[in-house]
Structure 1
Amino acid sequence: MSVANARNSWEKKVEGFVATGLIGISLGAQYALLALGFTLIFGILGVVNFAHGGFYVLGGYFGYAAGAMLGFPYPLAVVAAAAGTGALGYLFERFILERLIDDHLATLMLTLGLYLMMSSGILVVFGPESPSFEFPISGVLRGGGFYVPVANLIVLGVCSAAIGGLYWLVYHTDFGRALRALADDRAVATAQGLRPKLLFPLAFALATGLAGLTGALVTPILSLAPHIGDPVLATSFLVVILGGLGSVAGATVAAFIVGLIEAYSAVYLGGSKGALALFVLVLLMLVIRPSGLFGREARGA
């Protein structure tokens, strides 16, 4: 092999490595939005939301219905999907989940039942076939030794903005401070005048709206089908466990770690080996640091 050919081969490998990393970061941003919603519900309400993957799928179908059936522009369809899933989450928490909020087994069954109902409803309304729901912008951006699909960059930008907005809401507003107070000690926060029955539905709506937003953004790039909520829920669990239950910062960091591992392992190891790598990572984390990267025990709380 000539020097020129070897150099071109090396440059292509570097470009592929960088492009895979950018895709992994894009995946990480998607997983962060999902995991942050999951963590928000668990940290504040103490509820493991088995329906979280269902809200992701429903967001995709809401976006498809708003765009393909009602003729909404794609950005407006995404907003409508987030609003629709958020409203459904609010109603579910306010009128059903709230009645049994302190019964952990009952809330598990309720959220699992909601997920099954959403999956069945999607099958009845849209059928088992994947609808034609495509991202409106295609093409690949090249330059500076990298290439990445434009759609992934757009998703990364929107997800990053949503993550930043969520952090601002949680850490720099009265609403966020109230939610964190309820998460730390509900009894004391309630005695200080905070109203869980008002704030819990809003927190649940925020979390499910994030899941719907992610679904409407990502499913046109990946796929949209009634059954895709299962792997989404599994990935959310992995991210939350890796980051530490209830930790917003941990969920964010862990999401990008998982996204990068998934992208690089898919390219260099193969799909099945990539999934195995993720589970091995979580298993090692549970052995070395059972509380996760930023879990409460790890922070000394």
Structure 2
Amino acid sequence: MKFVELIATRNPLQKKAMNSFLSDQDEDFWSSAEQFSKGLLEVLAKKGIDPSYIADSYVKMCRNMLSQQVAFKRSGSYTCAHPEDAYESVYSSESEMSSYMYGLALSQFLWANHYALFRFYKDICSRSPSIRNYLEIGPGHGLFLIEAMRLLPDARFTAIDISPVSLRISQEFVGHFAQGRECVFRVQDARSIAAEQYDFISMCEVLEHLDETMPMLRKLHRMTAPGGRVFITTCANCPAIDHTYLYDSVGHIQRELNDAGFVILEDLPLAVGDVPEYLWETRREEINYAAWLARAEDMSRA
């Protein structure tokens, strides 16, 4: 990918990490990555943005995360105290949010955990072709939404995001990568969304941005139609400039999902470091987490 070369010239440490991950990837990965890279270059050309901006955005994001990790190890808490602070400093800022979203988009193909979560999501979608009514909360860069549009041919799509900047980027990506598919995009805080029901809800990397998670999870349960499914990702001990709610373990996440009325059908917990699972909780390791959920009452009647 062109962006790998650009990043490597800016940060030699990133070059080593990227090469370690990329050297193990298969043909399917490279096909998807090259398709994304080519499409992203076309999107940038339409907007008059130099590709070096995306590489700089990725390097900036990595440096911010490293700084947040150092602070977290010292204090045991996240530096962002309230979602409103994140909105003011990140989500409503054209420069900060654009850079953040482009950096995260690249991470889907450059970070082992992010790519594994992305692949897990694609697998779930490929096994759910009969979906009719799909909601995505917080589409961010839009890559998950694009895969849903590719794999769920009969679905009607709605996407909401608290950030107008992020939502615009999602729309641009969808318009390029999923031409011919329609989606209703709305700038909206997920906490205020009406409890209309959907048979597939995707909510990736949202919970850690809230001040309270259980009200959102219970609302998510009410919005899941009978027989419907939810795909969710979040993280534990994973500091970032806009993370506010601290999950301290995989068990913490799983308990909240169960308490909200969900059954975990499948999940994928992934440590960021090369640490045995039995040490994750005691060492408070950084964890990425994804789960495929059903309503508990549906499973009890099955």
Task: Give TM-score scaled by structure 1 length.
Answer: 0.25
**More helix, by proportion:** 1
Which has the larger share of strand?
A: 2
Tell me the TM-score normalised to structure 2 length: 0.25
